[in-house]
Amino acid sequence: MKIMQWVGIDDHADKWTIAHYTGNEEKPTREFELVPDSKGYRSLLSYLKGLKGEVRVVYEAGPCGFEQYRRLKAAGVNCQVAAPTLTPRKPGEKVKTNRRDAAKLGRELRSGGLTMITVPEPEQESLRDLIRARQTIQKDVGRLRKQIIQLLLRYGHRFRDGQSWTKRFWVWLKAIKLTGSYSSFVLTDKIVELEHRIEQLARYDDEIERATQKPEYQTYVAAIRTLRGVETLSAMTILSEMGDLRRFAAAPQLMAAVGLVPSESSTGDKTNRYGITKTGNAHMRHIAVQAAWQYQRQATASAKIKARRKDQLPEVVAIAEKCEARLNRRFHRLTGRHKKSTVAVVAVARELIGFIWAIGQIVHP
């Protein structure tokens, strides 16, 4: 009879807390701690390799990333990474320690109660870092713009000759002189910081554009961009966050992974459904909702969209055209039933995810 060894690791930047169960034993066979350095890796591998039977290891995804997973897999150890938000927790459980967490992971791994995540390949994770860093800079640009506008309003300055942040607005902004010397310093400093962030954003956009020209990304990005509302940045976000969409057996699985399915609390004959779960990839969800706003317009492909669809696979173009007609009809049907546009756009975003999944089954990275 094969002996099973279950190992739960509470991963922390300063130390690993490890709980090892043998077979169906109620209590851990051994509990110990290691420092996560080269010596710690050697000690952990030596211990795991010395166990008899099949060894399975698990730890929760967190700020320490997937380095431990990759090292253990490279050494031939069966390691998995659990989704921390989906780890079972008892309602009355109030004591939380590293030792208890490691023991719980070992027990739940043995019982099959953990939900495992798909660890991205190093290149995909690197691309994801680039995309997320760009999103952070974009937020900084928006924050600085808002701070500058609010500062000017406090001193009675308001631009009334068109839209903000146009060339005319920048000329107007550079000509303003605030009365207080310190206020002038603050305004000048914020303008300099904003200009720096805008330049930084342009560099990231150039790097992302170069990434799209790689053969392994080019075909996939071009296919996803046949959908209305999905630009290059959106397509690269989908690629970096979700990877190969073939790992989802059906479109509803991808919708759930993005957090766009309705939450539900039903018992007996009562069925209660609420807003979307929002438990999933927030970056992908944001992209889908932003793209969904484009489907309130007339369902006619623009010259820009037609150019994107040129030379694409006929089945991909057919999916994009079906998506355009269906989602436009869906949006107006919902708003025609007096649904709020924000509610309608989320419903459209959920269906858009389904069309993205369908293209991902045909063209993949």
Q: pLDDT tens-digit profile of 235-247?
A: 999 999 999 999 9
pLDDT above 90: residue 90: no
The residue ranges of every structural domain in the chain are: 4-111, 122-212, 215-362
pLDDT-based confidence at 77, cuts 50/70/90?
Answer: very high
pLDDT above 80: residue 299: no
Q: Over pLDDT 90: what percentage of the chain?
A: 88
pLDDT above 90: residue 116: yes
pLDDT at 298: 82
Those residues whose C-beta lies under 8 Å from the C-beta of residue 107, and which sit 6 or more positions away, are 6, 8, 21
Return the sign of the alpha-carbon dihedral for residues 344, 350, 353, 358.
negative
3-state secondary structure 261-321: CEEECCECCECCEEEECCCCCHHHHHHHHHHHHHHHCCCCCCHHHHHHHCCCCHHHHHHHH
pLDDT above 80: residue 1: no
pLDDT at 179: 86
Q: What is the mean pLDDT of residues 305-330?
A: 94
Strand partners, 18: 9, 32
Rounded to whole angstroms, the Cα distance separating 312 from 315 reads: 8
The model's pTM? 0.90
What are the Cα distances from residue 1, in Å, to 48, 52, 53, 57, 176? 19, 12, 9, 20, 82
Specify the CATH class of 4-111 in words. Answer: alpha beta
Nearest partner of 291 among 229, 341, 357, judged by Cα: 229
Q: What is the mean pLDDT of residues 30-43?
A: 96
Rounded to whole angstroms, the Cα distance separating 99 from 104 reads: 9
Q: What is the mean pLDDT of residues 42-53?
A: 95
Q: What is the mean pLDDT of residues 108-125?
A: 95
pLDDT at 111: 95
Rounded to whole angstroms, the Cα distance separating 164 from 173 reads: 10
